[in-house]
Structure 1
């Protein structure tokens, strides 16, 4: 059996876990079970000063959130690679960077968007590269990294960036040091498997990691097909010391599902990692 990573830096994804309480109360819930960092999808429904106050009250670090994704409720998953939406994209990045400054968040995930059935993937990729090149310059002023996350085709059919290799090709073409790869083990397993091999191949570009169980995107525990003890051991061997976002849907009450995280200090009797 693989040796567990001694102190994986686990961050609570507040868009996914602790659904039992309202969003602004999830900061307290995360701190209470031992987390010292949080991430989530979108903060824009709340005043940035209110979120900052919650972070300060509970001694939490903000490690990631997403730029505005377009019309998320109606299925859009980013506008960065959508021709004709360039002005909207620039405004979205300006808003995201404004929030990042107040929240002292060093990473923003920029969703690429969906390619329509009649769309030209090459044109969408061209727009994506152009938009990221502009955004990288804006983000550099605030010392923010922009993250590209490949999303699996089963959950996100038509998403522009579906593999780590596709993300690498974009990152290399943009050529900006603050464009990084967001490696989500759930999406990677759903797409191609060989998790530690593909992580190692892209490690020079990886700026953030997320986890969830496969196939249900539930707790990353022994009932799922990814052996996260082995994954954490592999990350330790490879020298990854960054944050690991817990972006999964609890099967039931969140705290009751933390048996998998208890060895790492997360749970009802959790002590703050550090």
Structure 2
């Protein structure tokens, strides 16, 4: 089986973020990720990680005002300064907490901005963020998101992500491959992963439909996890799902894979 991690932004949400580290340890996890850790200060996060013998493997760059509908700002030419400030904040957290990979959400295509200008902005922002992170020993990821759940999201396919990586031409840029999003947009998960494995830096999983735990929907996760092992993927596979009922019952359903 792959190396599994728990996403603390979607699991154990019955309690505040600071209390989820303990529950993750009790559930047997040794690796965790947090989408946006910035609600807690670095010292609090470090204490929780150390106290519960957990490694934080991934965080996201700040993505704008989530409550107002932002889903990243990297493709918005009017928010470059804000994006760069977020890169610095993310790098500070990642470096202090030993995080080796950070994820950049491209965001929605802004109104009145054509796709070419948005793509050029995204490329320049990725080059800036990639260089900034590389100097600190950190890898940068980009994530295609499905446009049914998030209409207008700029980056929505593996092919588009690979093309962006080739155009950006920076050595520490890879794809965060979210199985849930890509099953909705493309399907053919195993073939896609095998074809582009060298571009994949991180994998996240949830089932379709509903974005619940593996085993609740249409994806054959036994085949998928076996294939991930066979193809030689050495990174982490993170459970980034929303429990169908509650976290503990969801974890019981996936116990055979963990």
TM-score normalised by L of structure 1: 0.92
Q: CA RMSD in A?
A: 1.0
Structure 1 residue aligned with 2:225 = 232
Structure 2 residue aligned with 1:247 = 240
Structure 2 residue aligned with 1:38 = 32
Structure 1 residue aligned with 2:94 = 100
C-alpha distance after superposition, 1:69-119 (max 9, x if no partner):
011111111111101211111100000000001110011111111013543
Residue 126 of structure 1 pairs with residue 120 of structure 2: yes
Residue 216 of structure 1 pairs with residue 210 of structure 2: yes
Once residues 201 and 51 of structure 1 are traced to their aligned partners in structure 2, the CA distance between those partners, rounded to angstroms, is 37
SS at match of 2:56: strand
Structure 2 residue aligned with 1:258 = 251
Once residues 87 and 257 of structure 1 are traced to their aligned partners in structure 2, the CA distance between those partners, rounded to angstroms, is 41
Contact 2:76 2:110 in 1 (8 A): no
Residue 109 of structure 1 pairs with residue 103 of structure 2: yes
Structure 2 residue aligned with 1:162 = 156
Q: CA deviation at 1:33?
A: 0.9
C-alpha distance after superposition, 1:131-180 (max 9, x if no partner):
11111111011111111000001011111110011111111111111111
Contact 2:123 2:164 in 1 (8 A): yes
Residue 74 of structure 1 pairs with residue 58 of structure 2: no
Structure 2 residue aligned with 1:271 = none
Contact 2:213 2:254 in 1 (8 A): no
Once residues 226 and 25 of structure 1 are traced to their aligned partners in structure 2, the CA distance between those partners, rounded to angstroms, is 31
TM-score normalised by L of structure 2: 0.97
Instruction: For 1:176-191, list aligned pairs within 5 A.
Output: 176-191=170-185
Once residues 149 and 201 of structure 1 are traced to their aligned partners in structure 2, the CA distance between those partners, rounded to angstroms, is 17
Q: CA deviation at 1:242?
A: 1.1
> What residue ranges of structure 1 are gaps of 5+ in the alignment?
266-274
C-alpha distance after superposition, 1:39-68 (max 9, x if no partner):
121011110111011000011011101000
SS at match of 1:262: coil
Considering Cα pairs closer than 8 Å and 6+ residues apart, tell me whether 1 or 2 has the greater RCO: 1
> What residue ranges of structure 2 are gaps of 5+ in the alignment?
none
Count of residue pairs brought into register by the alignment: 258
Structure 1 residue aligned with 2:9 = 15
Once residues 21 and 168 of structure 1 are traced to their aligned partners in structure 2, the CA distance between those partners, rounded to angstroms, is 37
Q: Which runs of 4+ in 1 moved over 3 A?
A: none
SS at match of 2:233: coil
